[in-house]
């Protein structure tokens, strides 16, 4: 190699290193590790051509379809003379020739790891996959609704031979299945440093399998999945009605069970409730440990918000606002956390403190969509029962504090929990003027900051009426 060729090679190696760094940031480490990490720079004498090599036809087709333009623009930014980027499939001999001249960090990326079973497979058995750092066992809040699933997930992540496999998690959307799967991945790889794991949604399983069939490279697809120590497939319901994908999924599940490897499946329903799925696959899925996650109770929703808020730097959310979110948003933990994230982000962006009025203004549509319609009559009944006064007293002219204070609280709740106008609320409380309602609302708002008993009574009534 003459000086000119050596200089060009040094320039390309430096450019390739920077391109890899950029691609790890965008589209992100997880995508990079799966599709672009095995790529190598092929030595070539054409000055305007960049040749990228990948170890299988399946990966080559995928990278061509999704990253060709990105690779071209990234290289043009580093080497302006580049006119074309070629993405090719490597043969074993070309891999060796390429590695002989590649930079050390590229040799490490492209060399098959010890114990690899299939030359040219997209993933070596020891390769580790990135899991979301937010989703760990420590950050998963539990109660009776999810305790069995949580304990089973921790058990499966422990080193040694698994006591059960597959672990089948099912619940409605947004209740923590994906969180537990990522937590299993974190814990398993931490306890078994030489192990490997793959997490993939069922849609990706289906897409990659179809691409492999089209590329006539199903062997590499099968080998990549079956070479790892743990496989996790999320949202299994999406393979319903997809016969060829179900066939491959069945053989994959069967292989993992036969080999005693860890397998985790998540779905929005139990195995027996799956429609459009082959009975033999249903039988395999139901033969392991089936754990459901039920909708969270109010106490769990409140605890999740408190934990989430504590983990957000600089977030100050009053207890009454957390109570509001926990009572109004009950069907999905994901939606609950999303509401809190939105609230805190908006407050920080405009430099405003989080107050009840701010929460209602910011999340009005979301909260109204989940709110049960509450009537003033219901409020009056709840207040009279709580303070042990007659409902007629709340609409009477009596001014004794024992009556006036519950009446003010009832007006405050009517303003907060109903869409009635101030004059309408006034009429429901003995034809009082709207200014009386305004005074009552302001008075209770003030007392809640000073009087623990009043604040406790209001919070209790809010939970009762909204729960």
Q: Are 176 and 140 in contact (CB under 8 A)?
A: yes
DSSP 467: -
Helices (H), 117-242: 147-157, 177-191, 202-214, 218-226
Helices (H), 171-297: 177-191, 202-214, 218-226, 243-259, 279-286
Q: Which residues of 235-249 are buried (b: 16+ CB within 10 A; e: fewer)?
A: bbbbbeebeebbebb
Which residue matches tokens 């060829």?
A: 244
Q: Are 211 and 58 in contact (CB under 8 A)?
A: yes
Q: Are 158 and 191 in contact (CB under 8 A)?
A: yes
Q: Which residues of 155-194 are buried (b: 16+ CB within 10 A; e: fewer)?
A: ebbeeeebeebbbbbbbeebbbbbbbbbbbbbbbbeebee
Calpha distance 377→433 (Å, rounded):
18
Annotated binding site for ATP: 174, 176-178
Annotated binding site: 174, 176-178
Which residue matches tokens 């009776």?
A: 144
Q: List the one residue out of 153, 141, 137 whose CA is nearest residue 310.
A: 141
Q: List the one residue out of 194, 226, 190, 220 whose CA is nearest residue 208.
A: 220
Q: Are 167 and 289 in contact (CB under 8 A)?
A: yes
Kindly report the CA angle at 127 between 124 and 129, in degrees rounded to 5? 130
Measuring CA to CA, how many Å separate 282 from each of 104, 253, 290?
47, 11, 12
């Amino acid at each position: 190699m003459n000086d000119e060729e050596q200089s060009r090679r040094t320039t390309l190696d430096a450019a390739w290193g920077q391109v890899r760094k950029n691609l790890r940031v965008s589209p992100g480490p997880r995508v990079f590790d799966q599709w672009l990490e095995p790529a190598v720079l092929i030595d070539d004498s054409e000055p305007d051509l960049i040749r990228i090599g990948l170890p299988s036809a399946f990966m080559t087709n995928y990278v061509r379809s999704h990253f060709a333009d990105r690779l071209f623009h990234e290289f043009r930014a580093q080497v302006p003379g580049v006119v074309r980027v070629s993405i090719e499939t490597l043969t074993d001999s070309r891999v060796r020739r390429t590695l002989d001249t590649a930079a050390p960090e590229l040799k490490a990326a492209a060399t098959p790891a010890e114990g690899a079973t299939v030359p040219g497979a997209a993933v070596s058995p020891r390769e580790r996959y990135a899991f979301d750092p937010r989703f760990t066992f420590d950050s998963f809040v539990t109660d009776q609704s999810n305790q069995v699933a949580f304990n089973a997930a921790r058990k499966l992540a422990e080193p040694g031979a698994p006591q059960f496999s597959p672990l089948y998690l099912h619940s409605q959307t947004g209740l923590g299945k994906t969180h537990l799967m990522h937590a299993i991945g974190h814990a398993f790889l931490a306890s078994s440093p030489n192990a490997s794991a793959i997490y993939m949604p069922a849609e990706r399983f289906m897409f990659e399998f179809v691409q492999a069939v089209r590329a006539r490279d199903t062997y590499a697809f099968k080998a990549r999945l079956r070479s790892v120590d743990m496989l996790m497939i999320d949202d299994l319901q999406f393979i319903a009605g997809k016969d060829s994908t179900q066939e491959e999924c069945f053989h994959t599940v069967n292989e993992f069970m036969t080999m005693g490897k860890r397998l985790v499946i998540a779905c929005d329903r139990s195995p027996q409730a799956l429609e459009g799925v082959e009975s033999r696959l249903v039988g395999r899925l139901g033969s392991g440990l089936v754990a459901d996650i039920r909708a969270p109770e109010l106490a769990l929703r409140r605890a999740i918000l408190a934990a989430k808020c504590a983990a957000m730097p600089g977030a100050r959310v009053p207890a009454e606002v957390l109570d509001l979110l926990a009572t109004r948003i009950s069907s999905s933990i994901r939606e609950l956390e999303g509401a809190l994230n939105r609230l805190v982000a908006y407050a920080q962006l405009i430099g405003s403190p989080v107050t009840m009025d701010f929460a209602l203004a910011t999340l009005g549509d979301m909260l109204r969509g989940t709110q049960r319609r509450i009537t003033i009559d219901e409020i009056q009944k709840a207040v009279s029962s709580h303070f042990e006064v007659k409902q007629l007293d709340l609409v009477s002219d009596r001014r004794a504090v024992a009556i006036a204070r519950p009446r003010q609280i009832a007006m405050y709740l009517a303003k907060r929990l109903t869409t009635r106008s101030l004059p309408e609320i006034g009429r429901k409380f003995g034809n009082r003027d709207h200014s009386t309602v305004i005074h009552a609302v302001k008075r209770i708002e003030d007392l809640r900051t000073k009087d623990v008993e009043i604040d406790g009574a209001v919070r209790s009534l809010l939970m009762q009426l909204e729960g």
